[in-house]
């Protein structure tokens, strides 16, 4: 009785066609990721080892490892997040808990969105003009970290805001009803319940801070600096340092006769660290969502 | 009646102090945006107001900042460089990005949706210098093989890399805006007997068009502002491109390449900061437009 | 010169581990700019300070830059391994690279490339490079500028790599960046004069026409750790690094 007419058959064909087209488009986007990661690992394989991570670049940076840039990147990431996280979290608390829905708040939100869209080279110019020159910090780890902090701030604000907003209002109301002040409510109830979301945002920015090159190129990162291998305190705040991202740039464009595996190895370490950190953030997010009781 | 305990004065003071701190941090974003504009503007302002040749900057393709005899700051070729790679990147990223957003939103079960979204997020996390490296090594060889050009560092290389970099933004914001379209729209369309494709094309996309437009705009902002990837992948030639296989140089790469050598406060240095002002203005306008459009979506 | 500076820094770390040498790249222009702003102690340059740059340095820091010649570099002209051309004159190089220069095809030079492409692909350096500056001064001459549209590479090594991968390319870079995948042309000052290949000998006896000295500049007289470093660069150990990096060390006194 319900035999397919020519009309319905054609409809089904179109449907399949549509599905197939969109599927192909998605495939085209997803495959490069896998191909690129695979190819990089394949080319870098001969050189990847624990030794690679803890020896300095040697022989004109044509052999050896990436200790100096690795340590530099760690310094930059840690310091920049130490600065950006408190400011970002407090700013998000302001926007979500204290601010009223007026034009001023709207301007602040606009500013956050805009800050997020600033090109990385403009951040570099800002860091140069404000931290290196104006604040007199000179080219240093401190100046570079502050530049990175300004760059990572907007995303921390945005993700903290989301985390705070996901805490249901009744939680806050319950606190107010027993006479808690706004800050007490935030401190004892809202913040603890949003830690997961905040953490996710911060973790994501770790990978951003580690991967950027332009903002640190002119504010405190150098082509080469010999430091003691294996010493985690080898850099000082006002020293300049090497960084993984910059190192990848220089050995793939400025050092002759580099054995093929070396830049690939650096790329793999950088990419691997970034992807691992991102995967961690995603895991944290998923786990929190399942644990939530509301 | 029992006495109501009073809050200790110290506690009230501490709370006020924290509130002040919170308000200060709250306005920090504005401070920084203004700060960026201020400091970048400051470094380039002297030249900007005293004899900057706007005509030459915007309409001449002769970029000779370090000439001994005849210094020229014609940025037309650089502007064309940025425009060409951005346009190509968008031509690739928009259809694929929106297509993927549609696929994720309309054709996927929850499991597949999560995994695809995660993959796109990971794609977004790849640092720009790694993309540049990929362009310099992998894409370079591929283009030389496919097109038999002498060099594989050109608009095509930069455009493809930029497309891959901007797709995640388009996908994630696009998917958000498709999700925001009420199910009733879909159900109504399907109840009238249209195919899935027709529903997407004639109902869904028009309904979500504000959000999709915003997604595209943000993708453009990302592509136009990218520095390291184009520095490494576009071949660095100051030239208005006549074909996809021509090498070009973008505004961002020019700043990155020449900033170090310009003596602080020299003319060349200031021109580079002026380029920075130009870039900041472009991305500011794009972000402003996108934000205004997106607000409309989230509210409605 | 950044690779030479880095090699020196690496070696010096074994000589005096208490001193840390930070090396930044970016071309001679970058070093000159940094020294003029007083933000670095030493600038390694493959070209001299221009008079206005000396003035700028004096204005900003109150000190004048002191020049120290630390070695030589022969500027080699590279072509692809399969390019049949062996020699070139300075005049021809100028006609290829200069603004309004007339040489744009290999056939104009009487050369036919296997594979057919006839267009001369010019590989050059970005304007912050001392190599760029020196080439402009020594080859183009007379205040002429480069023709736009060349591929302007980030560093000396990029030029050689691009030429190695591109059959119809020509590029200039330091002699030390030679690899088995490219060919160095012999260069003659004028048509009819003998052409020489870039080597240590032809640089030192001035027969190779495009060789230049390498400099280190300090602000005022060097003192303390900077002076010790400079002395080490002049020593046998430092000069050995120069040779190993593919540059030409200073001639020993008595040569």
Is C167 in the B-facing interface, judged by CB distances under 8 Å? Answer: yes
Q: What distance in Å separates the CA atoms of residue C165 and residue C179, rounded to the nearest whole number?
A: 12
Closest CA to A215 of A124, A109, A129: A124
Instruction: Kindly determine whether residue B26 and residue A99, on different chains, have CB atoms separated by under 8 Å.
Output: yes
For C136-179, the pLDDT digits (tens) are 888 888 778 888 888 888 777 888 888 888 888 899 988 888 88
Mean pLDDT of B76-83: 91
Burial class (CB in 10 A: 0-12, 13-18, 19+), C150: buried
pLDDT at A121: 92
Q: pLDDT tier at B86 (50, 70, 90 boundaries)?
A: very high
Of residues A126, A150, A278, nearest to B125 (C-beta) = A278
Is C133 in the B-facing interface, judged by CB distances under 8 Å? Answer: yes
Q: From chain A, which residues contact C within 8 Å (Cβ)? A: 58-61, 138-139, 222-227, 239-240, 250, 253-257
| Cβ burial A243-270 (10 Å sphere, 16+ → b, else e) | bbbbbbbbbbbbbbebeebbbbbbbbbb
pLDDT at B90: 94
pLDDT at A293: 67
Q: What distance in Å separates the CA atoms of residue B33 and residue B42, rounded to the nearest whole number?
A: 14
Of residues B122, B195, B227, nearest to A33 (C-beta) = B122
Q: What distance in Å separates the CA atoms of residue A135 and residue A87, rounded to the nearest whole number?
A: 19
For B103-125, the pLDDT digits (tens) are 888 888 888 888 888 888 888 88
Of residues B19, B39, B196, nearest to A126 (C-beta) = B39
Instruction: Kindly determine whether residue C151 and residue B247, on different chains, have CB atoms separated by under 8 Å.
Output: yes
Of residues C26, C152, C169, nearest to B261 (C-beta) = C26
pLDDT at C116: 66
Mean pLDDT value across chain B: 85
B221 against A51, higher pLDDT: B221
Task: Map residue B227 onto helix, strand or coil.
Answer: coil
Q: pLDDT tier at A134 (50, 70, 90 boundaries)?
A: confident
Of residues A139, A223, A257, nearest to C6 (C-beta) = A223
pLDDT at B300: 41
Q: From chain B, which residues contact C within 8 Å (Cβ)? A: 61-70, 77, 140, 144, 150-151, 153, 231, 235-239, 247, 249, 257-258, 260-264, 266
Disruptive mutation site among B127, B162, B275, B286 for chain A (greatest number of A CBs within 10 Å): B127
Contacts with B237 from chain C: Cβ below 8 Å: 148-152
Q: pLDDT tier at A294 (50, 70, 90 boundaries)?
A: low
Q: What distance in Å separates the CA atoms of residue A170 and residue A76, rounded to the nearest whole number?
A: 40
Task: Tell whether the model's pLDDT for residue B193 goes beyond 50.
Answer: yes
Mean pLDDT value across chain A: 85
Q: Does ipTM exceed 0.95? A: no
pLDDT at B131: 92
Q: pLDDT tier at C255 (50, 70, 90 boundaries)?
A: very low
CB C80 within 8 A of CB C160: no
Task: Map residue C183 onto helix, strand or coil.
Answer: strand
Contacts with C153 from chain A: Cβ below 8 Å: 253
Least confident interval from A262-271, A280-289, C72-81: A280-289
Is B15 in the A-facing interface, judged by CB distances under 8 Å? Answer: yes
Contacts with B32 from chain A: Cβ below 8 Å: 111, 115, 150, 153
Task: Tell whether the model's pLDDT for residue B158 goes beyond 80.
Answer: yes
Is B128 in the A-facing interface, judged by CB distances under 8 Å? Answer: yes
A259 against C66, higher pLDDT: C66
Instruction: Kindly determine whether residue C151 and residue B249, on different chains, have CB atoms separated by under 8 Å.
Output: no
Instruction: Kindly determine whether residue B259 and residue A218, on different chains, have CB atoms separated by under 8 Å.
Output: yes
Of residues A58, A60, A226, nearest to C3 (C-beta) = A60
Contacts with C34 from chain B: Cβ below 8 Å: 260
Q: pLDDT tier at A152 (50, 70, 90 boundaries)?
A: very high
Which residues does residue C82 pair with via DSSP β-bridges, in sequence order?
A: none
Q: What distance in Å separates the CA atoms of residue B152 and residue C101, rounded to the nearest whole number?
A: 26
CB C148 within 8 A of CB C119: no
φ/ψ (deg, to 5) at B233:
-110, -5
Count of pairs with CB atoms under 8 A, one residue in A, one in C: 65
Determine what percent of chain B falls in helix, strand and coil, rounding each to the nearest 5: 75, 0, 25
Q: How far is A224 from chain C (nearest CA, A)?
A: 5
Distances (CA, A) of A6 to A9, A12, B195: 5, 10, 14
Determine what percent of chain C falls in helix, strand and coil, rounding each to the nearest 5: 40, 25, 40
| Residue ranges of A 72-111 with Cβ closer than 8 A to chain B | 86-88, 90-91, 93-95, 98-99, 107-108, 110-111
Mean pLDDT of A252-272: 82
Task: Tell whether the model's pLDDT for residue C54 goes beyond 80.
Answer: yes
Chains touching A by CB (3 or more pairs below 8 Å): B, C
Is C36 in the B-facing interface, judged by CB distances under 8 Å? Answer: yes
CB A126 within 8 A of CB A147: yes
Q: How far is C203 from chain B (nearest CA, A)?
A: 26
Residue of chain A with shortest Cα separation from C13: A226
Contacts with B35 from chain A: Cβ below 8 Å: 126, 130
Look at the alpha carbons of A94, A96, A98, A100 in this order and tell me if their dihedral is positive or negative: positive
Q: What distance in Å separates the CA atoms of residue A188 and residue B297, rounded to the nearest whole number?
A: 34
* CA angle centred on A281, ends A277 and A286, rounded to 5°: 145
Distances (CA, A) of A284 to A200, A207, A276: 7, 15, 12
Mean pLDDT of B276-281: 91
Q: How far is A152 from chain C (nearest CA, A)?
A: 25
Instruction: Kindly determine whether residue C10 and residue A254, on different chains, have CB atoms separated by under 8 Å.
Output: no
Of residues C117, C149, C165, nearest to B237 (C-beta) = C149
């Amino acid at each position: 009785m319900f035999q397919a007419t020519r009309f319905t058959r054609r409809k089904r064909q179109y449907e399949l066609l549509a599905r197939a087209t969109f599927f192909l488009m998605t495939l085209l986007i997803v495959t490069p990721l896998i191909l690129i990661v695979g190819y990089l690992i394949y080319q870098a394989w001969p050189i990847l080892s624990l030794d690679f991570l803890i020896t300095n670049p040697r022989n004109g940076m044509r052999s050896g490892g990436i200790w100096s840039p690795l340590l530099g990147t760690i310094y930059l990431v840690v310091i920049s997040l130490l600065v950006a996280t408190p400011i970002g979290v407090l700013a998000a608390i302001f926007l979500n808990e204290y601010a009223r829905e007026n034009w001023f708040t709207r301007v602040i939100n606009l500013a956050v969105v805009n800050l997020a869209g600033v090109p990385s080279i403009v951040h570099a110019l800002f860091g140069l003009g404000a931290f290196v020159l104006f604040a007199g910090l000179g080219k240093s780890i401190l100046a570079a970290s502050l530049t990175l902090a300004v760059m990572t701030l907007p995303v921390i604000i945005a993700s903290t805001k989301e985390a705070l907003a996901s805490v249901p209002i009744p939680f806050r109301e319950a606190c107010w009803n027993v006479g808690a002040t706004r800050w007490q409510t935030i401190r004892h109830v809202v913040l603890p319940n949003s830690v997961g979301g905040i953490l996710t945002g911060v973790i994501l920015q770790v990978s951003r801070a580690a991967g950027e090159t332009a903002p640190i190129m002119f504010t405190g990162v150098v082509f080469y600096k010999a430091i003691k291998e294996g010493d985690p305190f080898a850099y000082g705040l006002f020293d300049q340092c090497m960084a993984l991202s910059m190192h990848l740039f220089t050995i793939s464009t400025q050092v002759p006769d580099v054995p093929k595996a070396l830049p690939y190895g650096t790329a793999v370490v950088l990419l691997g660290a970034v992807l691992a950190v991102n995967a961690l953030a995603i895991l944290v997010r998923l786990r929190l969502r399942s644990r939530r009781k509301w | 009646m029992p006495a109501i305990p009073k809050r200790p004065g110290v506690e009230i003071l501490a709370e006020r102090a924290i509130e002040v701190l919170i308000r200060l941090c709250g306005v920090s974003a504005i401070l920084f945006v203004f700060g960026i504009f201020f400091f970048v503007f400051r470094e380039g302002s002297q030249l900007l107001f005293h004899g900057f040749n706007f005509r030459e900057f915007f309409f001449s393709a002769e970029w000779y900042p370090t000439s001994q005899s005849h210094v020229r700051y014609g940025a037309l070729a650089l502007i064309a460089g940025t425009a060409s790679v951005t346009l190509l990147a968008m031509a690739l990223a928009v259809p694929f990005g929106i297509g993927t957003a549609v696929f994720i939103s309309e054709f996927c079960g929850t499991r597949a949706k999560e995994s695809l979204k995660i993959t796109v997020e990971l794609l977004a996390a790849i640092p720009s210098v790694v993309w540049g490296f990929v362009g310099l090594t992998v894409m370079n060889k591929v283009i030389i093989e496919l097109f038999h050009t002498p060099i594989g560092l050109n608009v095509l290389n930069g455009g493809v890399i930029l497309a891959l970099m901007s797709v995640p933004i388009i996908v994630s914001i696009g998917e958000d805006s498709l999700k925001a379209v009420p199910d009733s729209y879909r159900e109504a369309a399907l109840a009238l007997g249209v195919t899935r494709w027709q529903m997407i094309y004639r109902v869904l996309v028009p309904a979500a068009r504000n959000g999709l437009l915003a997604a595209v705009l943000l993708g453009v902002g990302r592509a136009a502002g990218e520095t390291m990837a184009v520095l490494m992948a576009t071949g660095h030639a100051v030239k208005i491109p006549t074909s996809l296989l021509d090498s070009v140089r973008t505004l961002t790469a020019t700043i990155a390449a020449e900033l170090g050598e310009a003596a602080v406060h020299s003319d060349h240095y200031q021109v580079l900061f002026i380029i920075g002002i130009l870039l900041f203005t472009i991305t500011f306008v794009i972000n402003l437009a996108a934000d205004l459009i997106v607000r409309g979506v989230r509210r409605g | 010169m950044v690779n030479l500076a880095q090699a020196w820094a690496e070696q010096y770390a074994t000589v005096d581990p208490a001193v840390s040498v930070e090396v930044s790249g970016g071309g001679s222009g970058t070093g000159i700019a940094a020294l003029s702003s007083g933000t670095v102690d030493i600038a390694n340059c493959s070209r001299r300070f221009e008079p206005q740059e000396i003035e700028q340095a004096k204005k900003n820091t109150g000190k004048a830059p002191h020049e120290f010649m630390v070695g030589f570099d022969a500027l080699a002209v590279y072509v692809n391994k399969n390019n049949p051309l062996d020699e070139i004159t300075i005049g021809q190089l100028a006609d290829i690279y200069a603004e309004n220069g007339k040489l744009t095809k290999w056939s104009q030079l009487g050369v036919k490339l296997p594979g057919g492409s006839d267009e001369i692909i010019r590989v050059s350096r970005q304007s912050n490079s001392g190599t760029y500056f020196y080439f402009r001064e020594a080859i183009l001459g007379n205040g002429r500028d480069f023709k736009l549209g060349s591929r302007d590479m980030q560093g000396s090594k990029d030029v050689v790599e691009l030429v190695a991968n591109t059959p119809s390319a020509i590029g200039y870079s330091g002699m030390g960046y030679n690899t088995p995948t490219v060919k160095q042309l012999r260069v003659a000052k004028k048509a009819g004069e003998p052409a020489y290949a870039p080597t240590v000998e032809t640089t030192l006896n001035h027969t190779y026409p495009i060789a230049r000295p390498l400099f280190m500049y300090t602000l005022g007289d060097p003192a303390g750790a900077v002076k010790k470093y400079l002395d080490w660069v002049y020593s046998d150990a430092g000069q050995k690094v120069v040779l190993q990096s593919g540059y030409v060390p200073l001639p020993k006194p008595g040569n």
